[in-house]
Amino acid sequence: MENRFNRIRSVKDIVISALLFAAGVVCIVVPDSVPVNITGYTLAIVGLVLFFVMKTAFKDAETGETLRKTEKYFPASKSESVLKALSTDPQSIDLSEENKGNGLKVDTYYSTRTGHVFTQLFEYIPYKYEPCSPVYSYDISKAEKLIR
């Protein structure tokens, strides 16, 4: 699933970086005290670094649509019930067991604009999560519980 969804810069990432950089340049250009200039240089550098580092959106390699991602963690003992819920009805997943262990991870990529949701279950094998289910595709109305 990680090969299908690539990290990209969202509009929000670009706006935040541009605002920080612009605020820094304004502080540098305004003839004022040295602390204001130092603050300006700091803001400009932070804006540039964030522009090159911050990538919070994902792009589907097959369809080209922009998606967001959520992750939910479950104990390894709930493997069967989580897998059954994902394969049949994602609304029936038991979120009361969420964050009580980290043996399982459910990655959910979604787009509120197009209404597509993609999920996959991963199992923790020492040092990384390995996929243990295929990628499931749903309509957003069927998987609202997973994107909260």
Nearest to 72 by CA among 133, 131, 138, 121: 121
Give the total number of structural domains in the chain. 2
How far apart, in whole angstroms, are the C-alpha atoms of residue 95 and residue 102?
A: 14
Contact between residue 25 and residue 40 where contact means Cβ atoms under 8 Å apart: yes
Residues 28 and 92 reside in one and the same domain:
no
Nearest to 101 by CA among 129, 126, 132, 73: 73
Nearest to 66 by CA among 56, 51, 74, 79: 56
Residue 110 lies in a domain: yes
- pLDDT at residue 2 tops 60: no
Residues 43 and 72 reside in one and the same domain:
no
Residue 145 lies in a domain: no
The pTM of the full predicted model, rounded to 2 decimals, is 0.80
Residues 87 and 131 reside in one and the same domain:
yes
Q: Residue 29: pLDDT band by 50, 70, 90 thresholds?
A: very high
Residues 81 and 33 reside in one and the same domain:
no
Residues 52 and 95 reside in one and the same domain:
no
Residues 53 and 83 reside in one and the same domain:
no
**pLDDT score recorded for residue 19:** 97
What number of residues does the chain have?
148
Domain stops at, among 36, 57, 78: 57
Average pLDDT, the chain: 90
**pLDDT score recorded for residue 51:** 94
Which tokens in the block code for residue 130? 């390995």
User: Rounded to the nearest 5°, which phi and psi values hold at 63?
Assistant: -105, -20
Helices (H), 32-145: 34-53, 79-88
Task: Give residue 36's domain range.
Answer: 5-57
